[in-house]
Structure 1
Amino acid sequence: MLIARNKLTNLLGAALLASFLGQPLTTLGAAADNPADLGKVIAAGKAPEGDSVAASDATDDTPNWQESTLTGDWGGARKRLYDAGVQADLMYTADYLRNNAGGLQHGGAYMGHTDLVLQFDGEKLFGWTGGSAFLQLISNTGGRVNLNYVGSLMGVDNLEAPVNRTGVFKAWLQQAFLDDRASLRLGLYPIDSEFYVTDASGVFLHPSFGMAAEVANFGSLAGPSIYPTSTYAARLRVDPDPAWYAMLAVSRGIPSERIATAGPNVSWPKGTGSMLIGEVGFSPAKAGLLRESTPAEAKDDFVPISKLAVGMWRFSPRFPQLVAVDAADEPLLATHWGAYFLAEQTVFRVPESNRDLAAFVRYGFTDGRTNTLDYSLSVGFSFRGPFAGREKDTFGIAATRAHAGPQGRAQLSDELGEPLSSAAETAVEMTYRAQLAPGVVLQPLVQRILNPGLYLPNATVAGVRLQLAL
């Protein structure tokens, strides 16, 4: 552990030294579909989060900064830094959303989010075979549309946080082994960077198309390590075959009473219990179960979306139930747990192009005794390249529904001091993500929220997102 800590210190020191000496930093290959999870938004030609940033002996996987950023390669300086084993990405995202009907009240607000991401190739930097590191700093600014205007249980924007924060969000070391068929991560690690993830839903701004509502909803004592607050964790991933993977992670629970005031991360001693989560996934396309590509199609770089996965999570120790008590008026205890299923698949492709239509469905449920929500369901589709000549644009429409269990409804009604009008909240979002220029993305959207907070009138939210990769 001391050796690993020293390696991380050296890695971070090298990056900071490069910055102070005026070395330019490489930037995001594309604007983030979800700034809370930059691992999903690495663009074509850029290594995914946690993968080695070293170029292959057979191919050159260097990012194409001219096509993906506002400022290009800076005269070759970015390429030199990348070849040395350090990749740095900087992105700014600005949202303006307004509630035009229903909810708490009419009104809107601006929200800003900055990401600085550093990826390190341990072998290039220090001869650390199979080693890599990852550091992400985030900064939030602006108002809170859902808190002040909508009142939704699930939220309306994946940038919104309980309080504005600036600090470290991810910081982990990774060791790959078994010829890169397995890897172990240790450090500050949010589970929504890899677990319960569907690429087809990544274009949407509604938070529940990232980490689903029933997992993101905190239980009676603790919640998971997800945006905007992470905690220490260990994650093991095994890929025995290109079509299969399995992941297992254990992290500290984040206390419910501290989520609104905690810093950018919560230290291990201040956590509440621990969370264990596992997921097993399969790609029908990689297994060759779908229609074979034609020879012409096989020559291009098109990669279909294709995944089936199941997962389960639980917290320990046992937590108090939300409202149930025994004869002595003491809270009854129960295990805080849940499970989920997800599927996504490219269902249509425009021949010999990167334009395709992908559909997704996700369903998850909880014990319903320590968690306000007892299940959620999300369905939708996204069309990459909906128009000829606009292959980098994406159009999407999706719906998500979260249901509160009997104890969750009783608790919410007691907190409000009045009966609820519904047992479930539903959100529908339609959006169009347009790349206007290299490194510039504009994304208008509209949402319809039915029964926000399970007691408020239906809300209509509209707005726009601007993303800049510098």
Structure 2
Amino acid sequence: MNKNLKRRPLAACGLAALLGLAAAPHARADVDSSPYLFGDWNGARTRLADKGITFDFGYGFEAAHNFTGGTRHLTRYTDQWKFGSTLDLEKLWGWNGASFQIMITDRNGRNLGADANIGNNQLIQEVYGRGQTWHLTVFALDQKFFDGKLLWRLGRLPVGSDTDAFTCDFQNLTFCGSQPGNLVGDYWVNWPTSQWATVLKLNTTDQTYVQLAAYQVNPKYIDDSWARKNGWKLNNPGGTKGWLIPLEFGWKPSAGGLPGDYKFGVWYNTAQGEDLYYDINHDPRALTGLPALKRDSRYGAYVSFQQQVSGDAGGKGTSVFFNATQADRNTSASDRQIAMGFEYKGPFDRMRDFVGFAVGATHANTRLADYQRQYNTLNPATPGLVKDGYEYVSELFYNWSPIPSINLRPNLQYILHPGGTSQNSNAFVLGLKTSVAF
């Protein structure tokens, strides 16, 4: 039997046991107020934090079933464990302004989109991907200078944790995390995979900043076969192709006392990329059969806006967001993505609950579609699918938090033209996203 099929009921039983533990009378007082399911460890957690040692242990799973779309109607389950710690080196060793962070993750499970042949570009279960195995997700030193105005990070880092950082409340990848990684994930590598990197962030005012970073571009980090053996190791494999260099400007205003977060960024990848349409002689490669033209670099730009528009700052009320990314059309199979939505916290006066709705579109590059049409004309016996439009996604969820450490988030997803083509059937999906903080 597939080991992932064994883990699914085990994980479900484990979650039920945790809920039962949380409901036990002797545990109620602690779990009702603590952000951690296992509470303060009889005060040990607070004592360690006072000394400079904090922990981040958690578990999350995402289940999904497609009622329409694809060639089969299936239910699939995937999950992630995380084990992390942050060391305040100033408290521990007197190292002024320094801290160290480590995070290790483990992913398991199956991908509904692939197993049901839905044809979608953006994952229905965002926590799937990058190899269902152990990863060294963060291994980094932080150093502050000039009373915190300048922050330097150095180590193993996922791109989206620092650059174009965005929440991941939704289950569909269209609305989760750093958006450029949804388009150019072969070199913009988000959680849980990391690569060697350095980040410099200068807070120009209390509300504005500018940030410059450099991330190693090495295809081995995202190769599943390599990751299964080496993903958790602190190493530097051979095969580095170049560096991803993003520049970001940020503004965090307060509009009527309500917080906002606005980002604009551009990136440049020094590694080569293959042209989607031209061959080495700048002729249509579908017609000549010659190798693809090598582009010297790859690039793109993004904007990300989040703003609370009603209620109490950081509390009950409505927040809206808008994300848009454009990647270069020469080398990116999906060249742009737009997403927008809102979240409302505190429905029915349940202050930990919130509801979210979002719509988004991912565009399939027409240059790749032109190549595919030419290829199909010359090879009618083995035609490929032509993707020349938008994949449209919408998602509605309700987050129920029975205690502060547990979130249960049922959701509905609808995918129109999966993959950016009307040749794929539209998909209606029921999902469940759950997180537990230990």
User: Above 0.5 in TM-score?
Assistant: yes
Q: Does 1:206 align with 2:172?
A: yes
Q: Does 1:397 align with 2:357?
A: yes
Q: Is 1:383–1:394's contact at 8 Å kept on the other side of the alignment?
A: yes
Query: In structure 1, what is the Cα distance between the partners aligned to 2:344 and 2:66?
Result: 26
Moved more, 447-456 or 273-282: 447-456
Counterpart residue type for residue 210 of structure 2: A
1:125 is matched with: 92
Q: Is 1:65–1:73's contact at 8 Å kept on the other side of the alignment?
A: no
1:369 is matched with: 330
- State the Cα distance separating 1:275 from its structure 2 match: 0.5
Query: In structure 1, what is the Cα distance between the partners aligned to 2:394 and 2:250?
Result: 27
2:127 is matched with: 159
Please give the residue correspondences for 1:108-257 in structure 2 after superposition, counting only pairs within 5 Å: 108-149=75-116, 150-199=118-167, 202-211=168-177, 214-218=180-184, 222-255=186-219
DSSP 3-state at the match of 1:83:
helix
Q: Is 1:112–1:140's contact at 8 Å kept on the other side of the alignment?
A: yes
2:408 is matched with: 442
Query: In structure 1, what is the Cα distance between the partners aligned to 2:124 and 2:87?
Result: 34
Query: In structure 1, what is the Cα distance between the partners aligned to 2:355 and 2:433?
Result: 14
Q: Is 2:217–2:271's contact at 8 Å kept on the other side of the alignment?
A: no
Query: In structure 1, what is the Cα distance between the partners aligned to 2:96 and 2:32?
Result: 27
2:398 to 407, 432, 435: 432
The structure 1 segments of at least 4 consecutive aligned residues displaced by more than 4 Å after TM superposition are 410-416
Q: Is 1:409–1:423's contact at 8 Å kept on the other side of the alignment?
A: no
1:466 is matched with: 434
- State the Cα distance separating 1:198 from its structure 2 match: 3.6
- State the Cα distance separating 1:255 from its structure 2 match: 1.8
DSSP 3-state at the match of 1:383:
strand
Q: Is 2:341–2:359's contact at 8 Å kept on the other side of the alignment?
A: yes
Query: In structure 1, what is the Cα distance between the partners aligned to 2:121 and 2:136?
Result: 27
Q: Is 2:106–2:132's contact at 8 Å kept on the other side of the alignment?
A: yes
Post-superposition CA distance 1:74-110 (Å, at most 9, x none): 2111111111111112111122111111134210111
- State the Cα distance separating 1:364 from its structure 2 match: 1.1
Query: In structure 2, what is the Cα distance between the partners aligned to 1:337 and 1:193?
Result: 19
Q: Does 1:331 align with 2:292?
A: yes
Q: Does 1:78 align with 2:42?
A: no
Post-superposition CA distance 1:120-170 (Å, at most 9, x none): 100111111111011001011121112212331111122111531113111
Query: In structure 2, what is the Cα distance between the partners aligned to 1:412 and 1:425?
Result: 18
DSSP 3-state at the match of 2:204:
strand
1:7 is matched with: none
Moved more, 405-414 or 146-155: 405-414
Query: In structure 1, what is the Cα distance between the partners aligned to 2:372 and 2:146?
Result: 49
DSSP 3-state at the match of 1:180:
coil
Question: Unaligned regions of 5+ residues in structure 2, if any?
Answer: 1-30, 284-289, 377-381
2:64 to 50, 73, 97: 97
- State the Cα distance separating 1:408 from its structure 2 match: 3.0
DSSP 3-state at the match of 1:208:
helix
Alignment size in residue pairs? 387
Q: TM-score when scaled to structure 2?
A: 0.82
Q: Is 1:398–1:429's contact at 8 Å kept on the other side of the alignment?
A: yes
Q: TM-score when scaled to structure 1?
A: 0.77
Q: Is 2:362–2:420's contact at 8 Å kept on the other side of the alignment?
A: no
Q: Does 1:320 align with 2:274?
A: yes
Q: Is 2:369–2:386's contact at 8 Å kept on the other side of the alignment?
A: yes
DSSP 3-state at the match of 1:75:
helix
1:270 is matched with: 239
Question: Unaligned regions of 5+ residues in structure 1, if any?
Answer: 1-63, 294-303
Moved more, 209-218 or 377-386: 209-218
